[in-house]
Chain A
Amino acid sequence: MTAAGPNIAIEVEGLTKFFGKKKVVDNLSMRVERGMIYGFLGPNGSGKTTTIRMLCGLLTPDAGRGTCLGYDILTQQHEIKRRVGYMTQKFSLYGDLTIRENLEFVARIYGLREPREAARAALERLGLLDRADQLASELSGGWKQRLALGACTLPDPALLLLDEPTAGVDPKARRDFWDEIHRLAESGLTVLVSTHYMDEAERCHRIAYIAAGRLLVSGTTAEIIAAARLATYIVTGPDLSELSERLSATPGVEMVALFGVALHVSSRDAARLDEIARDFSKDPAHVWAKGAPTLEDVFIDLMIQAGGAPQ
């Protein structure tokens, strides 16, 4: 067993998990350095939640090994739980306890010396002091997420596992949430966060893309875009949906995606795509401009490839 260095927060190799006969996570290996915000991307049901649960001891892997903060994920779950803050996808604090009572409960479970004081400090940090005695169930979606994050960070963990923390939260609350995550990372916390949002992915230091339980790529945003070797044209003009259908049917086009008023057309074969662009440019209604692929282009392309490839 290779001991993970002190600057490694998560290191797993060959993680595999079955639900019945279905392989949900397939031979997944990854490595996350300390102090990093690591984004976990992938479509629904790709195994993100299952992987996070295996990391914090909530699920037992069927194969593979790994460490979390230097503790073995198979045998030292208790040590991991004491040092990891896990924020579930669904709000899982007690709706019939007040905000203060929830925080004090968490503080006591983690054995903090002054649970009341710790909860009070957390309330202040969260800006919830004046609503401390409200029932948690009465909070709006955005505030619930903030409270959940506050509860996770209360016991001063070294690693945060956040499972789609901003799903269903408005853009302003989302931005505040991410500012907070960056503040936490700067103070030395490692954050593993799963998300569907590309703007969030771009705020991560590193990202990994998972589809059908397999980790397809990982790296910085720039690395991933470069590695995809995708040529992209951005098309503007009228009737883009109709054009999109025609392009999808054109051999050589690998991905067509509509972004508001623009159509992103991508292919790995740059020469072929130039040819297609020339052909379609004959129709003066549409303007074809060579563009840089975005992270989203790359991921949609990956998703299409993963979906098309035999499992």
Chain B
Amino acid sequence: MSATPPEKPQFRDGFVASLERLFAVFLKEFLQLRRDRGTLGMIVAIPLMQLTLFGYAINTDPKHLPTVLLVHDDGPLARGVVGALRATDYFKIQGAARDDADADRMIRSNEAQFVIEIPADFDYRLVHGEKPAVLLLADATDPTATVGAVAAATGAVASALDRELTGPLATLAQNAAPFELRVQRRYNAAGEARRNIVPGLIGTILTMTMLIFTSISVTKEIERGTMEMLLAMPVNPVEIMLGKILPYVVVGAVQMAIVLVVATLLFHVPIVGSLMTLIPLTLLFITANLAIGYTFSTIASNQVQAFQMSFMFFLPSLLLSGFLFPFRGMPDWAQHLGSILPLTHYLRVVRSVMLKGSGFSELSADTWPLALFALVAMGVAIRRFRQTLD
């Protein structure tokens, strides 16, 4: 060191030296990233998985939508109309409703998206030139999901009975459509997107915030070194998990209140149904998200991985749940995948309660999947939770 001449400074300054320091930081970051196997895997897996998944799954023009018939006249012409609507590929006839109330129930419980009602004496009145009306009742809570079907139905009307109206009835076919298709958009008559989007946003916002809260709760303790003390104390994994989840149920409830108030005051989205239905089901949904977040936290080895897992869960929730794109437009496999996600079920719940006034009994099909999801996630979390430092 004494050999270094004083005019040659040991620490250089200037642009090149700055670049070298930049490179030193660059290299350090790279080396650290390379050590984090989990993150490396996700760098490759996330884009591959998500691109193929969403590329194949998303379809903005859903077909084969669940439809029920409410038939008051079973004549050949009536059957011809139903056949023509079915031939558009947009309607998948799933059965028949007994009466108006039964049809309403099917729509409120999301079993059916459309009801086709053939009035009494349809054939007779048609033949007598009275232009009877076929009623197409659409659940318009999600306007994008119904618009294609309604357009196709309207188009099909004109030529619907061409094959049936032969011989003496041929004159009827020559005129404009011999019957009328009356479309009734239920629950969102004007087809306003925000009536669909705002309730959906409640679910989306809750998913995001709840996931983030719990997804770092275990990794944080490990990274800060407090886990060792926690494990050395007489507290078991179930107590730790519930103790970490429950405070955020309260946080979630506060968020829910905020979003609901804003939805009604600012966006004038009605709450047709009962808050006594909406609140417990929302709390269940919040719990399901907190549970999966906590599960991620027990799997991730650091906070970055926990965040990545949360996003990997959040994106499908956004795209496959029916929030941005019609759920029924997706291929079967994607619908099955979407059916696992809590948001899928909660979207139906929140839209049904807020717009259609559905109650608990009509929403049971979407309640038990939420509960099951929460329980399975918690079960996995408890199994994954390491009680020792081994």
Contacts and interface: CB of A to CB of B under 8 A. Distances in A.
A88 B234 contact: no
A86 interface: yes
Given A53-B389, A59-B388, A60-B390, A88 B225 contact: yes
B229 A86 contact: yes
B232 interface: yes
A93 B225 CA distance: 9
Nearest to A61: B390
B19 interface: no
Contacts of A110: 233-234
**Interface bracket on A:** 20 to 34
B235 interface: yes
Interface in A48-68: 53, 56-60
B35 interface: no
Interface in B285-333: none
B13 to A, nearest CB: 36
Contacts of A109: 233-235
Contacts of A94: 226
A35 B338 CA distance: 62
Interface residues of B, number: 15
Contacts of B234: 78, 81-82, 109-111
Contacts of A93: 226, 229
Question: Which one of B224, B225, B233 has the highest number of Cβ atoms from chain A below 10 Å of its Cβ?
Answer: B233
B74 interface: no
Contact of B228 (A58, A84, A111): A58
Nearest to B235: A109
A91 B233 contact: no
The SS class assigned to the B binding surface is loop
A59 B228 contact: no
A56 B229 CA distance: 11
A92 B225 contact: yes
A262 interface: no
A302 B226 CA distance: 35
A257 interface: no
Contacts of A78: 234, 236
Interface string B212-249: 00000000000011111101111110000000000000
A59 B389 CA distance: 6
Given A88-B225, A92-B225, A95-B224, A58 B231 contact: yes
Interface in B27-49: none
A131 interface: no
- Nearest 4 interchain pairs by C-beta: A92-B229, A86-B232, A81-B234, A82-B234
Given A82-B234, A95-B224, 4 more contacts: A86-B232, A106-B233, A110-B234, A111-B234
13 contacts: A57-B232, A58-B228, A58-B231, A59-B389, A84-B232, A86-B229, A88-B228, A90-B225, A90-B228, A92-B227, A92-B228, A109-B233, A109-B235
